Amino acid sequence: MRIGLGEDTHRLTDGGPLRLGGIDIPHDKHAVGHSDADVLLHAVTDALLGAAGLPDIGQLFPNTDEANRDRDSAEMLQLAHRNVNQVGLQIVNLDCVVAAQQPKLAPHKEDIRQRIADILAIATDQINVKAKTGEGVGPVGEQQAIEARCVALLENTS
Ligand code: MG
């Protein structure tokens, strides 16, 4: 068994929708980034790579590479997952937390879970997604930023 932690933060700016967990959520802000700025998929990607002891998302997909501009984070996650599988590891489960003051994520959590399961070709019960606010303070609470964390447990396939 191997465990990995992924964390990510993106700035928010005016204009929706909000890309999160591979889906577009209706909102009046979106996350800013070199790729599609999907903070949750980036955290999941880094958790998987970290658990496998592989180079992190910034090394794998540098923001100095024009090929990564506006890149679909689902595709990056799939490539990272393939690298993880190639070193003989598979996902046991993922536990994720998103910190966002707005929008309320409860109505979208199941869709996000299903989308991540589809991206990784695993079962939805291998993924949990929780949502927290910033309690109205700090960058998250003041809606300047969105954050995500993910813990991944992997096991040997052999
Ligand atoms: Mg990121």
Mean pLDDT of 97-101: 98
Mean pLDDT of all residues in the chain?
97
Distance from residue 106's CA to the centre of ligand 1 (Å): 22
Cis peptide before 55 (omega within 30 of 0): no
pTM: predicted TM-score of the whole model, two decimal places: 0.97
**What whole-number percentage of the chain has pLDDT above 70?**
100
Phi-psi region of 136 (alpha: psi -120 to 50; beta: other; left: phi over 0): left
Distance from residue 30's CA to the centre of ligand 1 (Å): 13
Mean pLDDT of 115-141: 98
Structure tokens at 75: 């595709």
Distance from residue 43's CA to the centre of ligand 1 (Å): 7
Amino acid 93: pLDDT: 98
What are the chain's domains? 2-156 (3.30.1330.50)
Is residue 123 classed as helix, strand or coil in its secondary structure? coil
Bridge partners of residue 93, in order along the sequence: 153
Distance from residue 92's CA to the centre of ligand 1 (Å): 23
Amino acid 68: pLDDT: 86
Mean pLDDT of 119-130: 98
Query: For 15-119, where are the E strands, in sequence order?
Result: 18-20, 23-25, 29-32, 89-99
Distance from residue 33's CA to the centre of ligand 1 (Å): 7
Distance from residue 158's CA to the centre of ligand 1 (Å): 32
The model's pLDDT over 27-86, given as tens digits with 9 standing for 90+, comes to 999 999 999 999 999 999 999 999 999 999 999 998 888 888 889 999 999 999 999 999
